[in-house]
Amino acid sequence: MSTPRLVHLADLETIYDEPERVARLAGAIRDRRDERTLVVGSGDTTALGALAFVSEEGRGLARPLYETIAPDADTLGNHEFDYGTDGAVEWTRTTPGRHLLANVEGIATDGIDSSTILEAADTRIGLVGVTGPRTDEISGIDLEAAFTDPIPAIREASDRLRSRGCEWLVVLSHCGSLDATIAAETDVDLVLGGHDHERVCERIDGTLVARTEGGQAGEFQEIRLTDPPAVAVRTIDDEPRHEGIESTYRERYEATGLAATVTTLPDAIDRPTATRVVARAYRERADAAVGVVPRGSVRDGLPKTVTRGDVVGIVPFGSTLDVHRVDGQTLATVVDRCTTEAPAAGDLTAVVDPALETDPIDPSAAYRLACMSYLTEVDLIPELDAETRLEDRGPQHRHVLAFLEEKGSVTDLVTT
């Protein structure tokens, strides 16, 4: 008797900007398809990146890949809700597989189930899908839906699935670090996670928790349902390319102008440095004392030769660049908060005008602070609101593009 196997994907996001890599992912899934294998996803598997941002298809740019790999089941991540609940429901109604979400209320459910039972290698496998309970808070829009504590929802589904003869219970989770709590407080066998882009493979109270750096990093997992389950992280680097998928995405990419070169850097820069680049772009383009950006909103680093697609791809959001007027005491408080690693800091990066190093902040003076509008939409900086906002300078990604174009070979970015 063969052993059931799960092929697990999550956080594909910006992979759609790279035709060769998305083709290798499709090839990897194609070559692993057989009667003992289920392909499952843990959210943010729709498109998030430069190509989706400039395309009329938006998140639906993922559709050709989805229709090719045809996942058996998945859950919805926060980015599936970027176009509201209607957009998420339309995605579930029109794409293959069972879309699972047990911890949401107030949403149409004709394309969504809380759980399902699938068979592989003559084994009944119960799957439950959950997403982060703060999805509505971090979305930046009014989702008109309630995302609830996933624990009770999983317990209820688990009881039902066990009673129907499931030999394995698997949670497809887009809850990030909450996966450990799910494992400790529910009676399931595996928690396959997404949202947080870091490798995890640990056993908590007998439950396996597994997560990769994400499909956008070229990783997926194979899980063999043995006792105990065996997990292997795979990369797409040497996988065969699916020619049809590569052609589909290459044609789309080349038609957009995203391949045009913007600038050349002394060397490739990592994600933390790219985050400082964005914050500096905000500051200089807005003629502000400080530029602030959430670290999680900068999706990647930048290569040595930077294209338009690279720039849009690291900040692929529709936020505007806003300028706020604050007093010096408030400015100093925000800057101090951005320099701490405490979770309460909101994971922010600030770049300060060098002039303030020699001419310290005056607590009673007025200053300009530049940031993306998302920060006030989700209240990441409580001191900023509609009353403090002076200007809306238009789409923030255009300012990052212009900053890099104007600087040409910006040799000081890594230190400024």
**Is a pLDDT exceeding 60 seen at residue 409?**
no
Taking only the tens place, the pLDDT of each residue in 352-385 is 999 887 888 999 999 999 999 999 888 889 999 9
Taking only the tens place, the pLDDT of each residue in 145-185 is 899 999 999 999 999 999 999 999 999 999 999 999 999 99
The overall longest dimension of the chain from CA atoms, in Å, is: 76
Under the banding of pLDDT at 50, 70 and 90, the label for residue 275 is: very high
What is the predicted pLDDT for the residue at 344?
Answer: 42
User: 41 has which bridge partners?
Assistant: 9, 74
Cα separation, 345 vs 335, in Å, equals 10
Residue pair 8/229 in contact (Cβ under 8 Å)? The answer is: no
Residue listed under structure tokens 């688990």: 158
Cα separation, 107 vs 85, in Å, equals 7
Under the banding of pLDDT at 50, 70 and 90, the label for residue 343 is: very low
Q: Tell me the domain boundaries of the chain.
A: 5-251, 260-407
**What does pTM read for this prediction?**
0.84
Under the banding of pLDDT at 50, 70 and 90, the label for residue 144 is: confident
Cα separation, 195 vs 200, in Å, equals 12
Cα dist. 147→144, 195, 324, 342 in Å?
10, 15, 32, 26
Higher-confidence residue of 354 and 410: namely: 354
Residue pair 61/89 in contact (Cβ under 8 Å)? The answer is: no
What is the predicted pLDDT for the residue at 414?
Answer: 54
Residue pair 100/73 in contact (Cβ under 8 Å)? The answer is: yes
Query: 359: buried, middle or exposed (CB in 10 Å: 19+, 13-18, 0-12)?
Result: exposed
What is the predicted pLDDT for the residue at 316?
Answer: 86
Taking only the tens place, the pLDDT of each residue in 62-89 is 999 999 999 999 999 998 998 889 888 9
Under the banding of pLDDT at 50, 70 and 90, the label for residue 49 is: confident
Q: What is the mean pLDDT of residues 213-242?
A: 94
What is the predicted pLDDT for the residue at 345?
Answer: 40
Q: Which CATH code fits 5-251? A: 3.60.21.10
**Is a pLDDT exceeding 90 seen at residue 110?**
no
Class of domain 260-407: alpha beta
